[in-house]
């Protein structure tokens, strides 16, 4: 077994459990299906991260389109994640026949030693609200204001997702927020997720992203989280930057969407 496959074999089940538990905990309500469940939150109805079906077991691939339809019939989109790659491969044909597009999110575990603290500081969501809102049109230029509102405010729900949820920001010499990141930790199981690392466009290329990432990794390590992971879109460049920062791809999560 190669080092990469050994890492995946040991880390992937822990990461899957964390993602499943986080989804359940942050949801306003859930609906269970055989091998899957829906997470729902009317407060953020435009956020797919808060309204989707998550497959975390041995689902019947032919039944999955019906589960998503039943759970999300009140919304203008249909969205599902499938954690296990083998299950996702079996689900792909039935979902595509039902009109879904398939994409993949890469799961990356930090395999290097934890870096020194990057100097970013923990902040309240109130401090991040304005810069997060200002950043979203860059990533979703067609999103109307009500969509942006949900994508920003959903961080409130994330507080429920893990035992220890923190937000970190790096600041310019003038005190302006230049970059931020979320850290979700479950010290009892030793797992931490790093999520939504963003740099303000005007401050790209100045090391702020590295500072917040290093801070999150060090805090997670000091909390006893030996499994530290993040997600990255398979087709985007940040996954290569994460690779240079000590992260290794250990698997992927399938995404199925229909609008």
Which positions ≥6 away from 190 have C-beta within 8 Å? Answer: 14, 224, 225, 226, 227
pLDDT, residue 238, reads 81
- How far apart CA 184 and CA 24 sit, in angstroms, is 14
pLDDT, residue 191, reads 98
Average pLDDT score over residue span 228-248: 89
How confident is the model over 176-208, as pLDDT tens digits? 999 999 999 999 999 999 999 999 999 999 999
Contact 110, 75 (CB under 8 A): no
Long-range CB contacts (within 8 A, 24+) of 99-104:
99/258, 100/65, 100/256, 100/257, 100/258, 101/256, 101/257, 101/258, 102/254, 102/255, 102/256, 103/233, 103/234, 103/235, 103/254, 103/255, 103/257, 104/234, 104/252, 104/253, 104/254, 104/255
Contact 166, 122 (CB under 8 A): yes
pLDDT, residue 1, reads 46
Least confident of 13-17, 38-42, 138-142, 224-228: 138-142
- DSSP at 84: S
- pLDDT of residue 5 exceeding 90, the answer is no
- pLDDT of residue 114 exceeding 90, the answer is yes
The whole-model pTM stands at 0.93
How confident is the model over 70-89, as pLDDT tens digits? 999 999 999 999 999 999 99
Per-residue confidence band for 93, with pLDDT thresholds at 50, 70 and 90: very high
Average pLDDT score over residue span 131-137: 95
């Amino acid at each position: 077994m190669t080092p990469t496959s050994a890492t995946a074999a040991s880390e992937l089940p822990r990461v899957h459990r964390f993602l499943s538990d986080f989804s359940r905990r942050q949801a306003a309500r859930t609906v269970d299906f055989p091998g899957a469940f829906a997470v729902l939150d009317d407060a953020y109805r435009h956020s797919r991260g808060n309204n989707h079906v998550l497959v975390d077991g041995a689902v019947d691939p032919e039944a999955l389109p019906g589960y998503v339809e039943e759970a999300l019939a009140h919304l203008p989109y249909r969205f599902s994640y499938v954690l296990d790659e083998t299950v996702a491969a079996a689900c792909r044909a039935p979902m595509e026949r039902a009109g879904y597009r398939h994409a993949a999110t890469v799961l990356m575990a930090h395999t290097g030693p934890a870096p020194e603290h990057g100097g970013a500081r923990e902040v309240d969501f109130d401090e991040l609200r304005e810069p997060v809102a200002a950043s979203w049109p860059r990533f979703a230029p067609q999103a109307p204001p009500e969509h942006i509102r949900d994508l920003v405010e959903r961080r409130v729900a994330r507080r429920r997702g893990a035992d220890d949820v923190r937000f970190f920001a790096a600041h310019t010499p003038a005190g302006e927020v230049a970059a931020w990141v979320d850290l979700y930790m479950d010290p009892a199981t030793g797992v931490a997720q790093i999520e939504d690392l963003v740099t303000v466009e005007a401050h790209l290329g100045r090391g702020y992203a590295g500072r917040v990432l290093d801070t999150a990794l060090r805090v997670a390590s000091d909390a006893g989280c030996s499994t530290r992971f993040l997600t990255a879109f398979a087709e985007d460049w940040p996954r290569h930057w994460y690779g240079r920062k000590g992260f290794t791809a250990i698997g992927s999560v399938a995404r199925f969407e229909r609008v």
